Amino acid sequence: MSTNGTVNPDDMRIYAGSSNPAFADAIASYLGVPRSPARAGHYSNDSLYVQLGATVRSRVVIIVQSFCPPVNEHLVELLMMLDAARTAGAKEVHAVIPYYAYARSDKKDAPRISIAGRLMARLIQEAGATHVMTTSLHSAQVHGFFDVPTDPLTARPVFEAHFKHLHLADTIVVSPDAGRVHSAGRFAQRLNLPLAVGNKTRISDTKVMVSGLIGDVSGKTRAIVYDDEIASGTSVMEVIKVLAGHGIEQVWVVCTHGVFAGEALARLSALPAVQEVIATDTVPIAEAKRTAKLKILSVAPLFGEAIRRNHLRQSIGDLFTFWDEYRSED
């Protein structure tokens, strides 16, 4: 461990899973630690194999893997990389999961279903993770699914910096539903903007109904729709329709995890009111799917800084999702 604020490259190994190697490269660049090679593939019977390409004995191992499609393939690959590091004598094994897709399965809201977010947390721990780092979990209780130290970071400062240069008069922040109201409220407070919430009913995974808004949008002409994740995009599009009925003429769509399944990004970008679709790089977006309205902001430096502080035994509290509430109670 270094004592001068930097990481000794020989003390740490950074590996990337197959899901988002560019994100791992950005973390490695921030830390000044080269990414170590790893091999992954399939045997003839389609089962996975992985191999870490540099010694990890008595080192701190960072394994970066997002749960983007194909989610289950990337999950199993992460489990095998964690197991490989643990059984090869790593001192610490850190699972860095920029996008934890199973966070949406956080409660038993139908008969005979699995709370998959909790199950996957147990598997990650059993595989060998001694620490987990992620960002923008779907709900606060997912943090409690892990029995190892877990750092839920927030991308909010990155979004705040993006909007600081814009003229925000007549603007309101809108949460698509009550489940994200606290996160959207923190974002609105930091920008000194009012908040409204969509009155949403989910009918299926790809169909929702937004019957109205909770909050006063009178006199507003612009809105920032703020969410943790956009997959099919139906919730956001329904909210934008309701906003149009209230006189909102311009909309900025903001999400941490831009999954954008199918044609979701193209459909959002085609809406005349949408000025920008802003996402982070926790989920890689293929060049072929990108549109002129898409803006990608990197949170890799946020993860790099959290890893650096953690390695040097420094506080990372101000990078946490709920830091604003903690600080207000000081």
| Active site positions, annotated | 200
**Radius of gyration of the chain from Cα atoms?**
20
Rounded distance between C-alpha atoms, residue 144 and residue 148, angstroms: 10
Q: Which residue is listed with tokens 């899901």?
A: 19
Q: Are 195 and 181 in contact (CB under 8 A)?
A: yes
Exposed (0-12), middle (13-18) or buried (19+): which is 115, by Cβ within 10 Å?
A: middle
Return the structure tokens found at 10. Answer: 């020989």
Question: Rounded to whole angstroms, how far apart are CA atoms 16 and 18?
Answer: 7
For β-strands 48-52 and 38-42, DSSP reports them as antiparallel
Q: What DSSP character marks residue 9?
A: G
β-bridge mates for residue 41, sequence order: 49
In whole angstroms, what is the distance from residue 308 CA to residue 30 CA? 9
Return all residues near 297 (Cβ < 8 A) that are at least 6 apart.
Answer: 155, 158, 159, 162, 278, 279, 280, 281
